A = this chain, B = another copy of it.
Amino acid sequence: MTTLKDLSRHLGLSVTQVSRAINDHDDVSASTKERVREAAKELGYSVNLTARSLVTGRTGMVCLIRDGHLNLPEHTSGFEVISGLSMEFSQRGYQFNLQMTPEGTDPVKVYKKAVASGSFDGFILTDATVNDERVALLEELGVPFVVHGRVGEDPKHAYFDIDNYGVALHQVRHLTTLGHKRIGLLNGRDGYVYSESRIDGYKDGLAEAGIAFDDRLIRSGPMIEDQALISTIAMFQDIDPAPTALICSNILLAKGAYHALSALNLSIPQDVSVIAHDDVLSSIRASAFYPALTVTKSPFEDGYSVIADILCSRIDPSQKDVESVEVPFKFIERASTDKPA
């Protein structure tokens, strides 16, 4: 392995000056920089990141920790996020560390250890829960981190988020404006911030229209097709009069809902209107539905580069702060929503 000392000997320069040449400091003459660059290439020099880290205190590594083995299709979006983030950070010169912990591991322990090891400059948090203890911990420890999602109202931490509240509110408004009064919600798992925000938007939307809230009309669970199949059928069996409209928190749930409604011999939108939120994942396209699906839409992938930018700016004080963002959504009315019968 070639070191700075080797280079300095070879060039008749001090180690200091070679280091400064390589890092492009401005008290090195252009000609020296050129000589150093050439020698470095010739001797195959490349900076030892470990040694650099020891003195700078920065490792150039960011870490994403996930609990439990990822299985499909529930974690499709989780995978896409990992893939997208890894690429973004690579391109910014950071190493992306993925740490999968066995199901049910105490996050506080894991994060404490990860921080204490000093190996990471920052963390990316996904699947934020209400009152997420990881956020409190990392804030207390003073470590840079960014959350895919948001915990609490108007949080201090850096985040990238979708307007989940607004999405649900808009969906309900669209349906109530059409005249619907009994609106079902197929939602994600309880406890996650995005799920709870959707519920808030849903409730406020109903309240605006003067519709009483009926908790039988909300079904929570993994956002997969089979879950929607079960929830939809259960909902239409249990509740009389049955809902006239259905909100699906993602496209997979919509697929299951379509299937269930078809099985129940109900037509979309004549018997039941369906509206969904589209994360625009590469695997499931909203365009493939018949009848065409009315959606709110905010592409997941819009977030990867933003998240990377935010975290990098938090890590490197020389960069100017990138603000947290809440991306707006689009509304696309297609054929799956109409007036109630």
Question: What residues of chain A have their CB less than 8 Å away from a CB belonging to chain B?
Answer: 1, 44, 46-51, 53-54, 59, 61, 69-73, 76, 79-80, 82-84, 86-87, 90-91, 95-102, 113, 116-119, 281-283
Contact = CB atoms under 8 A, between A and B. Distances in A.
Given A79-B79, A119-B49, A97 B100 contact: no
B84 A69 contact: yes
A87 B99 CA distance: 7
Nearest to A60: B119
A293 B100 CA distance: 33
A16 B50 CA distance: 22
A74 to B, nearest CB: 9
A101 B49 CA distance: 20
Given A54-B50, A72-B79, A87-B102, A1 B118 contact: yes
Contact of A71 (B70, B73, B113, B283): B283
Nearest to A70: B83
Given A73-B283, A96-B99, A100-B86, A50 B118 contact: yes
Contact of A282 (B54, B72, B97, B117): B72
A101 B97 contact: no
Contacts of A69: 83-84, 87, 282
Contact of A100 (B51, B61, B83, B101): B83
A193 to B, nearest CB: 23
A98 B119 contact: no
Nearest to A103: B87
A79 to B, nearest CB: 5
A251 to B, nearest CB: 13
Contact of A98 (B1, B48, B86): B86
Given A48-B118, A49-B119, A98-B86, A72 B1 contact: no
Contact of A102 (B47, B70, B91): B91
A51 to B, nearest CB: 6
Most buried by B among A61, A84, A87: A87
A119 B95 contact: yes
13 contacts: A47-B117, A50-B53, A50-B59, A50-B118, A70-B80, A72-B72, A73-B283, A82-B98, A87-B100, A90-B99, A91-B102, A96-B99, A96-B100
B76 A72 contact: yes
